[in-house]
Amino acid sequence: MLKLAILGFLHDRPLHGYELRRHLAALTGHVRPISDGTLYPAIKRLESDGLLVRETEPGTAAAPRHTLHLTEAGRAALLDRLREPEALDVSDENRWFTLLAFLRHLDNPADQAAVLRRRLAFLAEPASFFYEGERPLGAEEFADPFRRGLLLIARATTEAELTWLRETLAELDAA
Amino acid sequence: MLKLAILGFLHDRPLHGYELRRHLAALTGHVRPISDGTLYPAIKRLESDGLLVRETEPGTAAAPRHTLHLTEAGRAALLDRLREPEALDVSDENRWFTLLAFLRHLDNPADQAAVLRRRLAFLAEPASFFYEGERPLGAEEFADPFRRGLLLIARATTEAELTWLRETLAELDAA
DNA sequence: TTGTGGTACCTCGATATCGAGGTATGGTCT
DNA sequence: AGACCATACCTCGATATCGAGGTACCACAA
């Protein structure tokens, strides 16, 4: 989710649009750069919602350079979204991974752990992934090698995330 | 991509909208069911593009039941999309995984292998994933445990896919 | 000097999707 | 008989995003 990412980056420090664009691209390993037609309208919406303000840099004679600052409302909105449960059990991976990228902004480790626990509950829920009724689907069951591949990749991803979640929760709880 | 999935399912056999909806939900392990407001307009667009035709079932006295059939143009469009390179190096994972789910419809193993090879080239390309300039990012480099987790999960997914791609390509080439 | 490429910002139209609402029918359980 | 649920289809308004286009300015190279 773009707005969440924008708020997340501006929480660290003020940026202007172009820098924001580069940060956003780096978030996906430069695989999914965000388009201008997406970024600038999003900034405007956040601005008109009062979540950020822009300061035009006076010194620069060139094209106007707007430095974007998070407002207090913006900071609060970010923390709300990070804690908000709706985005978690949601299967929209992009939304969840974006949230994870900025989870550090929740300064309370217990809040962070609560978020991870909800995600863990969602992923570990047996009914959620590739079940045919009560029965889990085995990769063998797909005659089609491509469907089998899809299942194998999905499983590997889920396993990797579960492992990481359990380790990280153990560390958070120990701290 | 929804349209690709609709064409893919109808390639197997005619279905009506409701069945299609269940098939589409099953494709994501019932994690991301498609909404009616997405499905029915998509069907209409495909119909007006001449890619499918609907036959109203005469026997059913109840609500009109439309059986959707792929036309020849629809079949051709599906095969085109499956071969189309633009969707491959694209980093939109959903698009790629949807394509994979229906790759079996390309009846020529050499065509299938060509698609997998393009994907392999994209994934293996060193500049594509989580590089900071020339230097690959190590998980250790992230002080933030959540960003580290993100990288670990992304890597695990990529590794799983690469392994599967190489194995499957070997099998396809052997056949 | 002319071009190329990077910085920086913006708009427009098109498409995709969602969510919530609505309209039916038919079966099952109580 | 009434409640409830599954089947089956549809519309509407809102939002998100894309891609292509445009406007500047500046620096460096050919």
Residue whose CA lies closest to nucleotide D21 C1': A37
Pairwise CA distance, residues A135 & A166, whole Å: 25
Is the Cβ of A145 closer than 8 Å to some Cβ of chain B? yes
Q: What is the DSSP letter of A12?
A: H
Q: Other CB atoms closer than 10 Å to residue B26's CB: what's the count?
A: 15
Q: Any idea which architecture A1-78 has in CATH?
A: Orthogonal Bundle (1.10)
Q: Which nucleotide is nearest to A5 (CA to C1')?
A: D16
Q: Which of chain A's residues have a Cβ under 8 Å away from the Cβ of B168? A: 145-146, 149
Using CA atoms, how far residue B168 sits from A20, B115, B120, B125, B171, in Å, is 40, 12, 11, 19, 5
Q: Flag whether pLDDT at A15 surpasses 60.
A: yes
Amino acid identity of B26?
A: A
Can you give the pLDDT at residue B85?
61
A63 touches strand D (CB under 7 A): yes
A1 touches strand D (CB under 7 A): yes
**Distance from A16 to chain B by nearest Cα, in Å?**
21
Residue in chain A lying closest to B25 (CA) = A130
Pairwise CA distance, residues B95 & A1, whole Å: 18
Can you give the pLDDT at residue A51?
92
Can you give the pLDDT at residue A30?
80
In chain B, residues 50-89 whose CB comes closer than 8 Å to chain A: none
pLDDT in tens, A49-79: 889 998 876 544 455 677 899 999 999 999 9
pLDDT in tens, A35-53: 999 999 999 999 988 899 9
Q: Other CB atoms closer than 10 Å to residue A130's CB: what's the count?
A: 19
Inspect the interface and report whether the beta carbons of A31 and B145 lie closer than 8 Å: no
More confident call, A4 vs A58: A4
Can you give the pLDDT at residue A61?
45
pLDDT in tens, A105-118: 998 999 999 999 98
From first to last of its 175 residues, what are the pLDDT tens digits of chain B? Answer: 789 999 999 999 899 888 899 999 888 878 888 899 999 999 998 988 889 998 876 544 455 667 899 999 999 999 988 887 665 565 677 888 899 999 999 989 999 999 999 889 888 875 555 655 556 666 567 789 999 999 899 889 889 999 999 999 999 988 7
Is the Cβ of A22 closer than 8 Å to some Cβ of chain B? no
Is the Cβ of B122 closer than 8 Å to some Cβ of chain A? no
Inspect the interface and report whether the beta carbons of A100 and B31 lie closer than 8 Å: no
Can you give the pLDDT at residue B168?
97
Inspect the interface and report whether the beta carbons of B164 and A146 lie closer than 8 Å: no
For residues A25-36, give the mean pLDDT.
85
Are A158 and A123 contacting, i.e. CB atoms less than 8 angstroms apart? yes
Can you give the pLDDT at residue B94?
81
Is the Cβ of B147 closer than 8 Å to some Cβ of chain A? yes
Number of residues that this document lists for chain A: 175
Can you give the pLDDT at residue B58?
55
Q: Flag whether pLDDT at A82 surpasses 80.
A: yes
* Fold category of B1-83 in CATH: Arc Repressor Mutant, subunit A (1.10.10)
Q: Which nucleotide is nearest to A21 (CA to C1')?
A: C8
- % of chain A beyond a pLDDT of 90: 45
What is the CB-side half-sphere exposure of residue A67 using CA atoms within 13 A?
9
